[in-house]
């Protein structure tokens, strides 16, 4: 026992090179390099072994599970057949289930070459979460609260390499089902790289997995792809972002009515706003249910 204690004390007093070197008290130590958040290295998740595992997971596990739990009606695939290169998919965001629904709705040749912009403060704050989301959805960390050059450079470089990108312009999930103001991330990346933006409208995912819910529910969903749009010469990111939000609003109107009514309203400038009425919470909820209907669901 004495020998073991002596060995333990020796191990505890180990010094360089068996332990990290100490820093002289007269020198200011350099800050440790971050390995999480926006500093997390996701390059491993885009190598062939990880891509193969992710493709098997999406095609053989996620897609059948989605068809069983949240059967989706996919519309507008003909509008993205013309895409010959990478694109930026910009959907509304009401649930963490949005990413799975959208990924499993994309054509195979796009799905397996798409990364997802995820909040660095939420999905990359712990190592196990960073590993999980990088592997399963090819997520990359994006700073949501402020402009971060590293995040923008990573997204732009991946678009240049031929990867498509899913980015939620609202920056976070809707608190009540209505959209939040669109930020300029998708517009900025499109202007910088030349990649077109595909507006996408998702419906029903909030019924499957509401915010702060403890479990999944059975509900029908819809995914509607819009016509790709590009930046107009001389148009700034703010104006382009407004056009993206308007395009998603027109898809929502098309889902609630039909293509012809939505086109007429869009031409007349009377498309209902994605953000809902400026009213009390109960009135906003009532307006939302009146617009999209309350889907029948079976709690699981």
Bridge pairing between strands 114-119 and 139-142: parallel
- Under DSSP, is residue 30 helix (H, G, I), strand (E, B) or coil? coil
Element (H, E) at 73: strand 72-75
The separation between the first and the last C-alpha atoms of the chain, rounded to the nearest angstrom, is: 56
> pLDDT averaged over the chain?
88
Closest CA to 252 of 227, 273, 282: 273
Higher pLDDT, 9 or 74: 74
Structure confidence by residue, pLDDT tens digits, 86-126: 999 999 999 999 999 999 999 999 999 999 999 999 999 99
Which whole-number Å values give the CA distances from 266 to 182, 247, 249, in the listed order?
19, 9, 9
pLDDT at 107: 94
pLDDT at 298: 45
Distance, CA of 249 to CA of 289 (rounded, Å): 16
Q: Is 225 left (phi over 0), alpha (psi -120 to 50) or beta?
A: beta
pLDDT at 14: 57
Q: Indicate if the pLDDT at residue 33 is higher than 70.
A: no
CA atoms within 13 A on the CB side of 218: 9
For 42-292, CATH number? 3.40.1130.10
Helix axes 237-256, 185-193, angle to 10 degrees: 120
Whether residue 197 contacts residue 164, with contact meaning beta carbons closer than 8 Å, is answered with no
Sort 292 into a burial class: Cβ within 10 Å, 0-12 / 13-18 / 19+.
middle
């Amino acid at each position: 026992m004495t020998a073991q204690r002596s060995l333990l004390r020796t191990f505890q007093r180990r010094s360089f090179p068996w332990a990290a070197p100490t820093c002289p008290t007269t020198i200011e130590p350099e800050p440790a390099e971050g390995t999480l958040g926006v500093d997390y290295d996701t390059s491993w998740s885009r190598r062939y072994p990880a891509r193969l595992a992710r493709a098997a997971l999406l095609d053989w596990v996620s897609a059948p599970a989605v068809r069983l739990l949240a059967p989706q009606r996919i519309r507008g695939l003909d509008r993205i057949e013309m895409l010959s290169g990478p694109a930026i998919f910009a959907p509304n965001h009401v649930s963490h289930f949005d990413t799975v629904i959208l990924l499993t709705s994309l054509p195979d040749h796009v799905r397996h070459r798409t990364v997802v912009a995820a909040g660095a403060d939420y999905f990359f704050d712990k190592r196990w979460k960073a590993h999980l989301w990088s592997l399963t959805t090819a997520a990359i960390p994006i700073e949501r609260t402020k402009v971060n050059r590293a995040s923008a450079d990573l997204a732009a470089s991946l678009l240049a390499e031929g990867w498509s990108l899913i980015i939620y312009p609202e920056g976070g999930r809707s608190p009540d089902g209505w959209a939040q103001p669109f930020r300029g991330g998708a517009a900025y990346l499109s202007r910088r790289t030349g990649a077109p933006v595909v507006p996408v409208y998702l419906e029903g995912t909030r019924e499957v997995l509401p915010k702060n819910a403890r479990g999944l529910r059975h509900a029908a969903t819809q995914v509607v792809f819009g016509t790709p749009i590009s930046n107009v010469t001389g148009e700034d990111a703010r104006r382009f972002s407004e056009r993206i939000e308007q395009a998603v609003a027109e898809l929502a109107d098309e889902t609630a009515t039909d293509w012809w009514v939505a086109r007429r309203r869009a031409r007349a400038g009377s498309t209902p706003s994605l953000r809902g009425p400026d009213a009390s919470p109960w009135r906003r909820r009532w307006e939302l249910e009146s617009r999209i209907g309350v889907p029948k669901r079976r709690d699981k």
